Amino acid sequence: MKSRILIIGACGQIGTELTIKLRQRFGNDKVVASDIREGSDALMNSGHFELLDATDLEAVEDLIFRYKVDTVYLMAAMLSAIAERFPAKAWHLNMTSLFHVLDLAKEQKIKKVFWPSSIAVFGATTPAVMTPQTTIMEPSTVYGISKQTGERWCQYYHDKFGVDVRSIRYPGLISYTTEPGGGTTDYAVDIYHRALKHGQYRCFLQAGTTLPMMYMDDAIRATIGIMDAPSEAVKIRSAYNLAGVSFEPEEIAASIRKHIPDFEISYEPDFRQAIADTWPQSIDDSEARNDWGWQHEYDLDAMTKIMLKNLKPKYTH
Ligand code: SER
């Protein structure tokens, strides 16, 4: 019986925690991690690992065949800020890898696909407050365009070929296990590291830039939640809006000051400000809540407490 899960891009910020969680749930042998590079010790030592270029169809197919994979989580992608530096490379990675996995599902070589979308699908013309599920989408970044296009292809493969693909639009994700790589929302992770290391942080977004964010445990629960849902409950096959908390840099600084009273934040916005300015401030995720029972748990202060507690040992000698 085919029954393994393959995670492509397992060593990134989401992939690392997703792999560990799925291994705890289904058993180490059942979850195959793959990435272009090796990952954390916890990931490398807890089960199968294969080096994999997500754009190499033959290599992906070979892994699926060898490990009897029936479910793929495609987490490999170039994020918003870094994709602006390498547009062609980002487009190639983000789109080619998706087409390969969708085609493998169409050919019934796998049964189920998870592919992450993002708040980056929205743009300057989108209503920014409580952004609805269905609204104007004119993304201005390479990353956003790739995610919006990907969403349409997911819906298309589902409607035309019956592919069981599921997706959510992640907000900015905050975690301590693996650092994010090249996103616009990454300041909300960096700030905790700097607070512990230097007691101060120079923010690359300006004061007042409110963005939707989420603690990683919530994001992982949402991911597993939508994959667990019965097929008929997943009514949207592009991607679901998903909301956790929304805050601006001053608010996260205030939350940190409850633990580190002298913490100081200053502002030096760079090119990422222009990206953040086109993204929503808050998200209406009622469809996800209604269709497959999504509920977030962590607010800003709960997240701050966990982040500081877990990062502290790294900076205490
Ligand atoms: N966190 C991502 C980024 O900033 C958004 O999907 O690129």
Residue-wise pLDDT tens digits, 94-113: 999 999 999 999 999 999 99
Which residue in the list 67, 143, 201, 240 is annotated as catalytic?
143
How is residue 206 written in tokens?
Answer: 């300006």
Closest to 194 in 3D by CA, of 250, 247, 258, 260:
260
* pLDDT grade for 14, boundaries at 50, 70 and 90: very high
CA nearest ligand 1 atom 6, residue: 118
Where in the chain are the domains? 4-171+216-241, 173-213+244-315
Check if the beta carbon of residue 179 is closer than 8 Å to that of residue 189: yes
What local confidence, expressed as pLDDT, does residue 317 receive?
A: 74
Calpha distance 14→186 (Å, rounded): 13
Ligand 1 pocket check for 209: Cβ under 6 Å: no
**Sorting pLDDT into bands at 50, 70 and 90, what band is 181?**
confident
Query: Ligand 1 within 6 A of 15 CB?
Result: no
Q: How far is the CA of 90 from the centre of ligand 1 (A)?
A: 13
Ligand 1 pocket residue status of 120, Cβ below 6 Å: yes
Please write the tens of the pLDDT for every residue from 223-253: 999 999 999 999 999 999 999 999 999 999 9
What crossing angle do the helices spanning 249-257 and 187-198 adopt, rounded to 10°?
30
Instruction: Check if the beta carbon of residue 159 is closer than 8 Å to that of residue 110.
Output: no
pLDDT averaged over the chain?
Answer: 97
Query: Does the 173-213+244-315 domain belong in CATH 3.40.50.1100?
Result: no
Q: Ligand 1 centroid vs 80 CA: distance in angstroms?
A: 6
Cite the DSSP H helix spans in the chain. Answer: 13-26, 41-44, 57-66, 80-85, 87-91, 97-106, 142-161, 187-198, 216-228, 249-257, 272-276, 286-292, 300-315
CA of 22 to the centre of ligand 1 (A): 23
Q: What pLDDT is recorded for position 1?
A: 52
Q: Which atom of ligand 1 is nearest to the CA of 118?
A: 6
Q: Whose CA is nearest to atom 3 of ligand 1?
A: 183
Contact predicate 32/63, CB 8 Å = yes
DSSP 55-97: T-HHHHHHHHHHTTEEEEEE-----HHHHHHSHHHHHIIIIIH
Q: What angle do CA 262, 13, 143 make, to 5 degrees?
A: 105
The CATH code of domain 4-171+216-241 reads 3.40.50.720
Task: Give Cα 51 distance to the centre of its chain.
Answer: 21
Residue type, 71: T
Task: Report how far residue 2's alpha carbon sits from residue 227's, in angstroms, rounded to the nearest whole number.
Answer: 17
Q: How far is the CA of 221 from the centre of ligand 1 (A)?
A: 18
| Tokens 């900076």 -> residue | 315
Does ligand 1 have an atom closer than 6 angstroms to the CB of 189?
A: no
The reply to whether 143 belongs to the active site is: yes
Q: What is the pLDDT of residues 271-295, one digit of tens each?
A: 999 999 999 999 999 999 999 999 9
CA distances from 194 to 208, 211, 256 (A): 20, 20, 11
Determine the distance separating the centroid of ligand 1 and the alpha carbon of 214, expressed in angstroms: 11
Strand pairing of 211-215 and 245-247?
Answer: antiparallel
pLDDT of residue 2: 58
3-state class percentages of the chain: helix first, strand second, coil last, to nearest 5: 45, 15, 40
**Cα-to-centroid distance, 146 and ligand 1 (Å):** 12
Cβ–ligand 1 distance for 175 under 6 Å, the answer no
- The ligand 1 atom at the shortest distance from the C-alpha of residue 275 is 4
CB-ligand 1 contact for 192 (6 Å cutoff): no
Residue 185 CB–ligand 1 contact under 6 Å: yes
> Left if phi > 0, otherwise alpha if psi is -120 to 50, otherwise beta: which for 243?
beta
184 lines ligand 1 (CB under 6 A): yes
pLDDT digits (tens, 9 = 90+) for 169-180: 999 999 999 988
